[in-house]
Each structure stands twice: as structure tokens, then as C-alpha cells.
A and B are shown apart, each in its own frame.
Chain A
């Protein structure tokens, strides 16, 4: 399936190559560079590029292109999904997935890639198994290894690979047994000029960090499971139990994992926690424009809106901005024409605002479209859909674990049209 993998950095250097079948010359990447040039932006490089003898399927993450070489028909999503899994694994191993991190750990990278694919077909992609096969590098271990000459490579077959719970390793031991669940919801919305909602939906995930001894069997139930319209599970979740009782029942992997991601049915109303008042205008013939934004909370269920950042991509004719903000700092990048205003916490008594003028290039007509405003924010201790975890029970083990749950609401792709 997957013949070879090339990693290409943003300046167009191939800094790593790996072949699973016979060697494919790196000149095949020329087709990729050609497409990259044509696309002018990294985001616009088509994910699938045909060449005379191969097909290149690429993903772009963390400023690195991961280009897989394919020789014959294969579902493209299969390859794309796998490449993303590779990136996730690198992030898991090295903290970040940057060119430097990969170059520094090239041997580990090679060993991991060797285990992930056999003859181009995925072999072990579960992080729990991989980490047993090849231990992630830590400072302590690196020091110990250099002194004692021991290695990162595990010397026994991960039992998970063979068991009916391939995602969990056996013999897990913890002094403190704890299980944390984070319910994180993101609001995707498009707000139109007049402030009414064109489109809004809630996407949520439950991320878990489970450090429990042995083979615990957990069940998690919700107060209002009907809210979840469409869900996708970690393979550990027993689907039949969910279908019949709406209860999540699973033997968790060890460590961090994403238990569930869900979509709140679009039939429910979405509460929009902030509003934006804006007045952005360009006058014809004038070299000045007005820019005025006020942000305020709305439907926040009594919680504070934090970490608010407002960004906007201004049209090319804007040369500079002269603004004053009542709260937070703003920056304007005259090259990319992006204005970004970091507000932080919104105080409902004193609404933050950003006012001032834009100086425009003279002699050019005013732009047709006002810039869109993107907003980021966070609300702690609130799941905006109203989803609530009812209880978490553990079976199969004797001890009493410490359980914790946290809610958070964030802005996803939250866009205001002006």
C-alpha cells in the first residue's frame, strides 16, 4: 500500500525518507514541489497528486509535509488517516512534531515507523503498544542508556497485541489510582452582519487521562445522553451497550486518550456566549477608514468568558492601523494584514472595545467586502450544550480510584461576518 514516506520542511528540503518496499527515488517529490508552487499557499496543495508512475498523498501539519508514495489503488482516506496517526504518534513521543525533534530522534523515528507499517500495511498504530515496543526518549533514560548501553527497544512482545484488548498493556501498576475526564465543547458558528446566527453547532470531545492499576472496567453515564446526536468512539467502547442503554462501558487504555467525540444535534439551539458590535467602514476616495469593535458576553450561564482573542484579516489596501483599546493589547502585522486583539477576561460591567482608524493606500478603490472577524474564547466549568456526566463506576478491581471531571467550552471556528 504505502511505498515510501518523505518528510519535507517548509523550505522544501526532504529531511527524512523511509521506504517499506523497494526504494523510490526522491526525485518523485519534484511533482510535489511543482504542485506546491502552483498552489501558492501550503494549505492549498492538493492532498492527492498523480504522477506518471506513482501517486503522492500528503498531509500538512506543524509546518511539515508528510508525503506518502503510493503505487496502486488504495482508499486515499486510508493513507491520510494513517499519516495523521504518524504525526500524532510523533507528538506523543517527542512532545512536539517539529523538524528539530524528528532530526534529533531520527533513530527512534525510524524504529517507530518500522513498527507502524509492514510492507506498507499498518501493523501497530496503538500508542500503548508502540510505547512498549519502543520506549519514548526521556532525559533520564537517555543518560542511563549512554552509561549502561541499554536500549530503548523493548525486548518482549507487547501482550496487548495478542489480547482481546489490544489497546491496553498488561501489568499496569500505580500507587495513586486516578481517572480524569475532560469534557471540552467547541462552538462552531457563523454570525451574520446583523448579529443573528447563520449557522451554529457544538462539537465536543471527552478526553481522558486514566492511570489505574490492573484491568479496570469502567462505565460512564450521562444525565442527558439524548443530547449526543452523533458520536464516534475510541475502539475500547462497547458499542452495543451504548446503543441499548446509552452508557459508555469500556476497558480504558493506559494514559491519555480520546474516549469519545460527539456532535450535539443541530436541532438543539446553540447558545452563543459572546456578541460583537462592529463598525468597520471604508470611505470611497478617502485614505482613512473607521474600525470599531466591542465584545460583550451573552448567554454565558453566569460564567466568565476568558482567553478572548479577536483576529481579523484585513484587505490588502490597509496600510496601517491606529487603534486604542480599553482592555488588552492589539497587534497589527502590516505584511499579512492581520490584526489581533488579545482581550483576556471579559468584564460584563466594562465591555472591552477597540476603536480607531485605518490608513488606506490612496488611489485604490475601497474593498468590496468588510473583513471577517474570528473570535477565540474559553469558558471554564461549563459545557454549553448542557451535557452532564452522571457517574463513573469501576468494576473488576478492588481499590477505590480518585475520579475527576472537568468541563470547558471553547470557540471552535467562530466567525462573525461584517
Chain B
């Protein structure tokens, strides 16, 4: 009461001042009214509003307030009505009152003294028996930003924080932030209130109070300890917005309180090790098995377990929040579960997609394996907005690896042709990045880019030139052919950036193209005056380099250019001219520098690094605003690093631990199974009541189903709860076991990215390696494909009169086709459209079946499995690609895993995977290799060698994997089928069950069994599939006709009768299965 009267006094004091401020405001309003007429009209309107507000009728007042709110909404100033409006604050009409509140909150700051008139009304309302009125009074009171009422606000918040209604307490939690932003000096008492509200058991309050915590005192992490478990358990039932805030806060909390679950993987560091074991002892106090080096704190586990269901939330922010929590807190093997949910968000609105894709892009840089299964979800649609397209492209580039590069490149090939030129340019850059990252496709990509040079669109050409320049610079090997080709294009390209790049390239590698370079200089010298500045600079550069290497031919030319450039309009060019002249042309004045001119100009330049723009984004916590902008936003809280030693976990123990930890189970048990499973909110309410037993929490007063369960909880005797405790523990350990299992499974996907890294390191060897493997025939094929392209180019460039091209009789762009020619043709498709009727297509996606190659027992800890990824083999078109997953289940690391002696049947060939230098214990890697089975089902036998052992293993191909799917039209299918009758046809009748004869079931079964393509069929009862054998390319045509009574007629037409009959047998057994 004392403080109340004090504030009234205050008010009285201020009362005198108020008039003067008001007057002042009016004066400014007068002068600021620009057009007098407009102003007077406004004034008049306000006048009648005044009258309406003064009237006795509520309806008139309401009408006036509605118009005023309309003015506020439009951003018009309605502050001069303040005195008239504020009178109505005590109105009985609820809507009128609400609108007055809206007005008050908007203008209170400007009219502080008048606003004080309303305070007493709110103070009265705060004592109202109706919780709605109490809450809204507090809401408005705290929203009035007038510093003089800070003490009143403080008092009201304190009272409201112990209100019986959780709704009022929630409002109090919101009010804390408002007061804090008004007067930061009140922090101390506010923190006390936060501490109190954090203990609140109501789900309604939890989100709001954590929000206040984050705003007011995020550094007081100690306040969370006692409430940590409660928050984890309540989380599922908190409203969605609160969930986001709590998840974010708990992420930071966990980073300060738990040990890193990734330590095991980083164990290499000696110095770390000691502290690591020290902390372990701490952990073992909990009585968990001492043998394992790292045991996750049960509280850490609790958080992960309780947030996982939220991945199913409909709110994208919640899903993203959980995803970042897993990313920052979960053991590496468990993070993968969030991928699926994030991919689901891509169906949402454009803005959601944008943010989610950005976060995925950052994730894919570190953990390729996580999103690899969802590669196709990132395919670009022409209807996507450009910024979405570019983000998807970024992700596809990050995901590209040795195993999927062929399909990624094929996608890129369509993107390059997009009408959206900004996107097309980005696609070209992406190809460039793939080329540097995956050494096997470098040359293919380079060829593809060279073909793009003949594109009609200038921007595409320009972008290609720039990317080629970068690529050649990273690989300055024998690429003189490409440089020659680009030199030829110079006269056609008009984009200055591209011209400049070509000139720079020629200059840089002028010693590789000694004959062309001077001629190019001659040509550009002629057009020097018409060039863009950037091109002029490069001409000077080229000239200088040639002058130094080949002065005999270019001296005069260079002198001419220098003379012209001396009088150029641009000072930059004049400046450069003077500089170059002094440096390269020897004269009596030239200093010591000119001796080093050659060194200066022709020094080895470091290659540019093509890397992702998302490379350094991981310094920010995912899902934050700072991450999106890649700059620190104000108020961003740095995600702390894991502690070296775990802080004492006992701080989270709550005195009355029973209710939170164990009560859920016994009560559920008494209530019966159904509730136990389903009662998401029942269990919550039980907890609430349970706790209310010990602390006199008020929340129970309004929960309705209290009587039913409070009695039951009392019944639960001590002994029982003890038993439950044990149960719970065993459950915990169970789940931990499970995790261990999944861990090993998930590791292999993660490690596949590692293997790619290692393979790219070997890049230099790869070329020589693969050459002996490829047959003569294949080379020929590759060449013939290229020469077609070459012819096309020749035609276009024949106008050039560069004489030293005559000796180029071999195909134009001819770095050896290391890659299989299939891939080469893929990229040639950039400019040449194929006309073949029957094309190899992408296989229908089916889950990969894996077969055991080497059991871990017989392999002394080394286990191996293989599966057929159904992709065209990148080593050789005749090979079937096989992926082998190697797992080390021993205690020690296994070194030097490679393929040793092989015993292959005649004609069979194999392309080895790259040697794995070291496989850590528990780790697994996936490598890919190619085997040419010669279209037979004979096994490929070879030895798998490690540093000190070798094991004989064999890969047995199922007949269905010896095929590649092809597409063809129904007509062509029939035609081909007509050619393959008689001896070449195998057929049989099958009786299957009715549910088997549905279209989908048949297609599903056939495609699962064999790598075939579905041929579109006009009739509903006939299904056709087509494929060709990998080695010989013989067509395999499958027809299934569904007849009445669920019988089917299966026939296979192929000239490979062995394959035909084996396939028939296997298909029959598959189709007749239930």
C-alpha cells in the first residue's frame, strides 16, 4: 500500500509538467502540417471523433475507437486524441476496452503523463476474480513503456508470478522481459522471479519463462540445473513456440554440462586423453559399466530421447530446432535421423525451403553421408525461384561423390540449358567444382565444358571459359589442346570477362602453345583499341609474357601495342603500360628489377580453390539468424565448446526426485496399459499433481482430472517405486544397446565420404591405374564418340586462319578419356542431342540388397559386404559396379586393405578399389569397384588383403544385376521382340495370388529382382520391361501378361539364352510368392 501511495504522489508531481509537454506536442503538430487544407481536414475528422468519444452511447464510442484503430493501422498519427480515449479505459464494454488498450499501448510512450491516469484502473483489475481480466490488465500495464511506473510493474509481476492461474503466471513471464527492456537495472529482482517461475510445473508457463530467461539472464546457467529434467519431460506438451525456445536453450545448456560424445572419434590427441579418462571416473560414480571409455550422461540421453518425437511436429521451426540440437549434441551416428524430417520440410513454403536448404548446405559439407540417400529430393524444378535453385545446386554439388557423380552430372547437364541464365551459370560453376573434387571425372567435365564453349548464349560461354580457366590452373598438365581450342574461339566470344580469361590462359601457358600464342597476340593487337579495359590489360599481360619468352617473333608486335596503349584514355592502362615497358624492355635506365622480369611474370601461380560458399558457416549455430546471414546478429549467443571435464552431474538432482523421474510408470501401470501408451497429456497432468503434493504448487486448482489419479499415486508404496526404478534403469541400458547397434550401421554411410576423400588424394595415380584396364575396343569407342563432336566443332571454327592448327589431326579435345565413354557421351549431350531409339536410363530406385563377402569371424575382425548400386560403372561400360562395405569389428586398426591375387574366369575383368590405408576399430568404409562378369553368373574370385592377412572371397552376381535398364516405346519393344522369337524366347505360366497381380505389385517385384526399365504400356494387363546385358549389350525383353484367375504368362526374349532361362526361373519364383 505504501508504494502505491508513493506512486500516486509521483503522479501528482508530474501532473503539472504534463500540460506543458502536451502543449509542446500540439505546437509541433501545427507546424508540421504541410498542406494547410489537408491538415484542417484531418483536424475536423478528429474533432468529430472527439465528440463521439465524449458521448454517452457505447456504440458511438466503439465506432470512434474502430476508426481510430484504423488510423493506427495505416500509420496515421492519432496521438492528439489521447485524453479523450484514455477516459474510456474503465468502460464496461469489453470490445471498447480492448480497443482502448490497443491505443494506450501504442501511444503511452509519447504521452507518459496522461498515460498515468489509467494506471489505477489496471491496479484495480489486477485484483479482479476473473483470471482473464487479471491477465489482460497485467499485459497492458507492462506494455506501457513509462519508466515512472517501474516500481508498480515490479510489484504486480511479483504478485502475478504466484497467482493461482497459470495463465496469469504466463503473462507475468512475458512481463518480465518488458520490464527488463524498460529498465535494465531491475535485473536482480527479475532474475529472482525467473528462478521462481522456472520451478513452475505448468506447460503453459515453461515456454514463456525460458524466453524471459534467454532475454534477461542467459548467462545464469545455474538456474537451469534443478529444472533441467523437468523441462526435458515437459517438452513434448509445451506449445510449439515454447518448444523452439526451450530446445535452443537446452542446446546451449547441454554444451556446457556434458562431455562430448564425439571424443571417441577424435581420440587421436594424446593430451586430450588424460583429461578424458579423468572425467570418466566422475561418470562412473553413477555405477555404469567401467569398461567403456565413454558413457553418455543419462541426462544427456534424456534430452536426446525427449526431443526426438518433436521431429514429427507440424511446425518447421520446431523440426529445425531439434535438427540443430541433434547436430550439435548427438553422437555422430545418431544425427542421421534428422535428415528425413528436414527433407520433408522442403515441401513447405518458399521461405521455409530457403532457410532449411541453407542449413542442409552447411550440414552436407561436413557430413555428406547424411543426405546422400535423399539426393533426388534436391533436384531442381524449373518452377523453383532462382534462389532456391541455386541452393539446391549447392547441395547437389556437396553431395556429389565418386559413386553418384554420373547421375549428378546428368542432372547438371539439363540445368545448363535452363532459361534462367543466372542458374545456368551457377550450374556451370557447379560442374567445375565437381571436376576438382572428384578427380575421376575431371576430364569428362572439362570436355563437357569445352563443348559448352560453342553454346549460343554468351553468358554460358563466358562462365564456361572462366571455370575452364580455373580448372586448367589447378591441373596444368597436358591441356594444350583445350587452350588451342579456346584460342580459336576468341574471335567469336564477345563477353569481355571470357576474352580476358582466354588471353590470360594463353599467356600463362604460352610455352605450351608456342605457335599459336604470337598469332593470337597479332590478332588482338589489331583490335586493341576496340577492346574493353579488362581485355586490354590482359593483352598487355600476354604481350609481356610473350616478349620475355619469344622476343624474336613478338618484339615488334609488343612495341606496337605499348605505343597504342600509352595513349589510351584509361589511366589504369597507361599506368600498366609504363610499368610493363620499364620492366621488360631493356634500356640503360632499367634497374635491377628487369633482370627478374621473367620471374615476376612467369612465376608459378597458386591455383584458385573452388569451394563452397557455405564452407565457413559452421562457426554459427545452425538454424540461427546469424547462420542465415553469415554475420553475427546482435544478441547471438555463442554455442560454447564441450567442457574438458564434466561438471558435477549431481547438481541436476532434485530433492523430491520421485515425481519427475519415476512416477510416470507406476501410475500408468495402475491405470492400465492404454493410458500408459497413449496418454501424452495424461502423464503430464499426473506429474503435475504428484509434485503438488510436495510443493504447494497452485496448478492443480484448475486441472480437472486430478481426483482420479492423485489417490493412486499415494498408494504406490516405496518398495514398488524402487522396483520401478530398476526397471527404468534396465530400460535405459537397453536403449543404449540399441544405439550401439545403430551406430555401427550409420557409421558406414558417414565413412563413405571419408573414402572419397582418400580416393581423391590418389587422383594422380588414377589415370595410370585405369589405363591398362580399359580394353582397346573401349578406347576406340570413346574416340569415335569424340570425333563426332569434333566434326561439329571443326565446322564452326574453320573460318579461323591460324596456321599451326593444321598439325592437330587428332581430335580436338583429347585428354585421354579416363572415364568410361558412357559418361563422356553424357556430357557431350550438352551440345549434341542423341537420336538413338533405345537409351540406357536411370534405374528405378529399389532398396539395395547386400550380400556377405567376408564374415567378421573368418576375416579376423574385418567384415565385408557387397551390394550392387545399379549405377553405370564409372570405370568401364562393360563392368557392373559393385560397392563393398568394409567394417572393422576388431580392437585394432586394420591397415592397407586392398585386392590381391585374383582368379577370374577367362574374359572377366576387375577394376580394384583404391587401397584403404587404415580402418579404425569400429569404423567402416564403402568402396566401389567394377567387375566385368562377361554376362555370366560365374563368381569373381579374388583375395582381399590386409597388412598381414589375405582372405579368399568371391562376388556372386545375381542374374538381375547383370542388366542395365533401357527405355523404349511400346512399338519399338514389339519390333525388337519380333526379332527375338523361337530359340530366343523362354516363357512359362505362373499362378499367383490375386493381390500379386496388381500392377504395382508386379512392377515392384520385377524391379526388385532385376535391374530393368519399365516400358510404358497401353494395356492394363500387360507389363513390359526392357534391359540390356552389361557386357554385350544384348537386349533382354520381359513381358508379363495377367490373365483371368490370377494366372500370368511370363515370357523373356533375349539372345543370351542362359541369362534368359535363369532370369525366367528366378522371376517365376518371385512372382508366385505371396
Q: Is B340 an interface residue (CB 8 A)?
A: yes
Contact A74 B166 (CB under 8 A): no
| Distance of A245 Cα from B174 Cα, bound (Å) | 40
| Contact present for A75 and B624 (CB under 8 Å) | yes
Q: Which residue of chain A is the closest to B635 with respect to CB atoms?
A: A72
Q: A55-B633, A71-B634 are in contact. Are A368 and B702 (CB under 8 A)?
A: no
In the docked arrangement, what's the CA distance between A76 and B620, Å?
A: 14
Among B418-472, those with CB < 8 Å from A are 418-419, 455-457, 460
Residues 65-94 of chain A: 1 if any B CB is under 8 Å from the residue's CB, otherwise 0?
000001111111110111010000000000
Query: Are A165 and B681 in contact, with the CB atoms below 8 A?
Result: yes
Q: How far is the CA of A157 from the CA of B133 in the complex (A)?
A: 9
Contact A44 B625 (CB under 8 A): no
Nearest opposing residue in chain A for B847, CB measure: A267
Q: How far is the CA of A201 from the CA of B69 in the complex (A)?
A: 48
Docked-complex contact B344 and A263, CB < 8 angstroms: yes
Q: By the criterion CB–CB under 8 Å, are A149 and B58 in contact? A: yes
Q: Is the CB of B241 within 8 A of A82?
A: yes
Contact A240 B680 (CB under 8 A): yes
The answer to whether B628 and A121 have CB atoms under 8 Å apart is no
Evaluate contact between B344 and A162: CB separation under 8 angstroms: no
Q: Is the CB of B165 within 8 A of A162?
A: yes
Within 8 A of B (CB), among A171-227: 188, 190, 192, 194-199, 201, 203
B341 near A46 with CB under 8 A, answer no
- The answer to whether B625 touches A80, judged by C-beta atoms less than 8 angstroms apart, is no
User: Most B CB atoms within 10 A — which of A23, A77, A111, A190?
Assistant: A77
Q: Does A98 contact B (CB under 8 A)?
A: no
A17 to B130, CA, bound (A): 32
B679:A232 contact, CB within 8 angstroms: no
Question: Could you tell me the distance in whole angstroms from the C-beta of B868 to the nearest C-beta in chain A?
Answer: 16
Residue of A nearest to B1017 (CB): A298
| A271 adjacent to B685 (CB under 8 Å) | no
The answer to whether B106 has its CB under 8 Å from any CB of chain A is: yes
Interface string of B618-636 (1 = CB under 8 A from A): 0000011110110101111
Please determine whether B623 and A302 come into contact, CB atoms closer than 8 angstroms.
no
**Contact in complex: A386, B312 (CB < 8 Å):** no
Counting contact residues on chain B (CB < 8 A from A), the size range is 35 or more
Number of A interface residues in the complex (CB < 8 A): 113
CB <8 Å contact, A190 and B174: no
- A203 cross-chain contacts in B, Cβ below 8 A: 347
Q: Is A319 an interface residue (CB 8 A)?
A: no
Assembled-state Cα–Cα distance A131/B623 (Å) = 32
* Complex alpha-carbon distance, A249 and B679, angstroms: 10
- Find out whether the CB atom of B383 lies under 8 angstroms from the CB atom of A413: yes
**A267 and B846 form a contact (CB under 8 A):** yes
- B59 CB contacts on chain A under 8 angstroms: 149
Is B990 located at the chain interface by the 8 A CB criterion? no
A76 touches B845 (CB 8 A): no
A369 at the interface (CB under 8 A from B): yes
Judge if B609 is at the interface, Cβ distance under 8 Å: no
- B1020 close to A232 (CB less than 8 A): no
Query: How would residues 229 to 252 of chain A score, 1 for a CB under 8 Å from any chain B CB and 0 otherwise?
Result: 111111100111101110001000
Contacts of B299-345 to chain A: CB distance below 8 A: 309, 312-317, 319-321, 340-341, 343-344
Is A344 on the interface with B (CB-CB < 8 A)? no
| A18 and B355 in contact, given A75-B320, A114-B98, A164-B685 (Cβ under 8 angstroms) | no
Q: Is the CB of B628 within 8 A of A48?
A: yes
Are A47 and B354 within 8 A (Cβ)? yes
The reply to whether B321 and A162 form a contact with Cβ atoms under 8 Å apart is: no
CB interface residues, B 8-61, toward A, < 8 Å: 57-59
What residues of B have a CB within 8 angstroms of the CB of A128 in the complex?
none
> B151-159, B575-583, B997-1005: which lies at the A interface?
B997-1005
Instruction: Check if A368 sits within 8 Å of B456, measured CB to CB.
Output: yes
What are the residues of chain A within 8 A of B96 when measuring CB–CB? 151
A41 contacts B385, C-beta separation under 8 Å: yes
Give CA–CA (A14, B101) in the complex, Å. 24
Closest beta carbon of chain B to A15's beta carbon, Å: 7
Output the nearest chain B residue to A148 by Cβ-Cβ distance: B59
A125 to B241, Cβ gap below 8 A? yes
Which among A23, A192, A241, A266 is the interface contact of B106 at CB below 8 angstroms? A23
Q: Does A285 contact B (CB under 8 A)?
A: no
Task: Tell me whether A144 is interfacial, beta carbon within 8 Å.
Answer: no
Could you tell me if B73 and A18 are in contact, using CB atoms closer than 8 angstroms? yes
- Could you tell me the distance in whole angstroms from the C-beta of B276 to the nearest C-beta in chain A? 33
Report Cα–Cα, A196/B967, bound state, in Å.
Answer: 7
Q: Which of B635, B1000, B1017 contacts A269 (CB 8 A)?
A: B1000
Which of A102-110, A352-360, A396-404 lies at the interface with chain B? A102-110
Compute the total of residue contacts between A and B using a CB distance below 8 Å.
285
* B585 located at the interface, meaning its Cβ lies under 8 Å from any Cβ of chain A in the complex: no
Q: Please give, as numbers and ranges, the residues of chain A lying within 8 Å of B241 by CB-CB distance.
A: 78, 82, 121-122, 125
Residue A382 at the B interface, CB < 8 A?
no
| A235 touching B240, Cβ below 8 Å | yes
Q: Is the C-beta of B352 less than 8 angstroms from some C-beta in chain A?
A: yes
Partner of A78, one of B57, B239, B244: B244
Q: A43-B385, A109-B73, A239-B309 are in contact. Are A73 and B317 (CB under 8 A)?
A: no
Of the candidates A15, A17, A50, which one forms a contact with B631 in the assembled complex, judged by CB atoms under 8 Å apart? A50
User: With A50-B629, A151-B95 in contact, do A44 and B387 touch (Cβ < 8 Å)?
Assistant: yes
Question: What is the CA–CA distance of A371 and B414 in the complex, to the nearest angstrom?
Answer: 12
CB-based nearest A residue for B71: A106
Q: A70-B625, A166-B239, A413-B383 are in contact. Are A196 and B98 (CB under 8 A)?
A: no
**Are A107 and B66 within 8 A (Cβ)?**
yes
Question: In whole angstroms, what is the CA distance A268 to B143 when docked?
Answer: 55
**B233-265 vs A: 1/0 string, CB under 8 Å?**
000110111001000100000000000000000
B725 contacts A by Cβ under 8 Å: no
Question: In this assembly, does A19 line the interface, its C-beta being within 8 Å of a C-beta of chain B?
Answer: yes
Residues of B within 8 A of A245 (CB): 677
- B546, chain A: closest CB distance, angstroms: 35
Contact A77–B1016 (Cβ < 8 Å)? no
Contact among B240, B383, B681, B967 for A195, CB-based, below 8 A: B967
How far is it, in angstroms, between the C-alpha of A413 and the C-alpha of B386 when the chains are bound? 16
B74 on the interface (CB 8 Å rule)? yes
The residue of chain B having its C-beta at the shortest distance from the C-beta of A190 within the complex is: B379
Does A119 have its Cβ within 8 Å of any Cβ on chain B? yes
Interface assignment of A16: CB less than 8 Å from any CB of chain B: yes
| CB atoms of A241 and B678 under 8 A apart | yes
Residues of A with C-beta under 8 A to B417:
368-369
> B-facing mask of A351-382, CB < 8 A → 1, else 0?
00000000000000101110110100000000
Beyond contacts A157-B131, A244-B677, A298-B1016: 9 other A-B pairs, Cβ-Cβ < 8 A, are A43-B350, A50-B633, A72-B636, A107-B99, A119-B142, A152-B95, A199-B376, A232-B341, A365-B456
- Using CB atoms and an 8 Å cutoff, list the residues of chain A in contact with chain B: 1, 14-19, 21-23, 26, 41, 43-44, 46-48, 50, 55, 58-61, 70-78, 80-82, 84, 106-107, 109-111, 114, 118-119, 121-123, 125, 149, 151-153, 155-157, 161-166, 188, 190, 192, 194-199, 201, 203, 229-235, 238-241, 243-245, 249, 258, 261, 263, 266-269, 271, 275, 298-299, 301-302, 313, 315, 365, 367-369, 371-372, 374, 386, 413, 415, 417
| Chain A to chain B: the 9 pairs with minimum beta-carbon distance, closest first | A72-B635, A151-B95, A157-B132, A369-B417, A149-B59, A43-B385, A47-B351, A122-B241, A164-B681
7 A-B contacts, Cβ less than 8 Å apart?
Answer: A50-B633, A73-B637, A125-B240, A230-B343, A235-B314, A269-B1000, A413-B383
Binding site for A on B (CB under 8 A): 57-59, 62, 66, 69-70, 72-75, 93-96, 98-99, 101-102, 106, 109, 130-132, 135, 139, 142-143, 145, 165-167, 171, 174-175, 177-178, 181, 204, 208, 211, 236-237, 239-241, 244, 248, 309, 312-317, 319-321, 340-341, 343-344, 347, 349-352, 354-356, 374, 376-377, 379, 381-383, 385-387, 411, 414, 417-419, 455-457, 460, 623-626, 628-629, 631, 633-637, 677-682, 684-685, 702-704, 839, 841-842, 844-847, 967, 999-1000, 1003-1004, 1007, 1013-1014, 1016-1017, 1020
